Amino acid sequence: MELTGGGVSVKRLTSVKPTRDCDKLSQEARRRFDILMQIIPVIIRTKNIMSSLDIFPAGAHGIVERLNLAEEAFRRVAAFGLVPGCRFHLRKAAPWGGPLLLEVGATRFLLRRSLARHIEVRAAA
C-alpha cells in the first residue's frame, strides 16, 4: 500500500515481524559487544595506556601508577596494599556503577568506583 500527500510518497510495510528483527538485532549487538570486550584488554596491554581504575577491564592485571586521593582516602586504600607501583588483579566489576573486587597480593577487597576514578593504572605486561 502506498500513501501520497503533499508530493511525498510513503510505503507502508505490512509484513514486518518486529520480534524477529529485534532478535536479530540483539544477537548482532551481543556479538559486537563480546568482540569489543575481548579487544579492550588487548588494546590496553599493547598501547601501555594509563587509565583510571573505574574503567579498567574486569579480569585484567594492572599496576598502580598514581593515587590522586585526599590523605585520609589514600591511607584507607594503602592499608589494603594498593599503593603506587603495586600489582593488582581486577577480579570483577559490579554493574551499574557498583564496586570493584580487587586482589592485591593475598588481599581481596571491594573498592567504590568514586575512589577508583582517582586511581591511575596501567595494564601489567
Domain that holds residue 89: 2-123
| C-alpha–C-alpha distance, residues 98 and 61, integer Å | 19
pTM metric for this prediction: 0.60
How many other CB atoms sit within 10 Å of the CB of residue 92? 14
∠ CA 102-105-108, nearest 5°, is 35
Domain total for the chain?
A: 1
pLDDT in tens, 8-19: 444 554 444 555
pLDDT tens string 6-55: 454 445 544 445 555 556 667 878 888 887 777 776 666 555 667 889 88
Percent of the chain with pLDDT over 90: 45
97 φψ region: left (φ > 0), alpha (ψ -120 to 50), beta (else): left
CATH of the domain at 103: 2.30.30.90
CA distances from 70 to 74, 77, 78 (A): 6, 11, 12
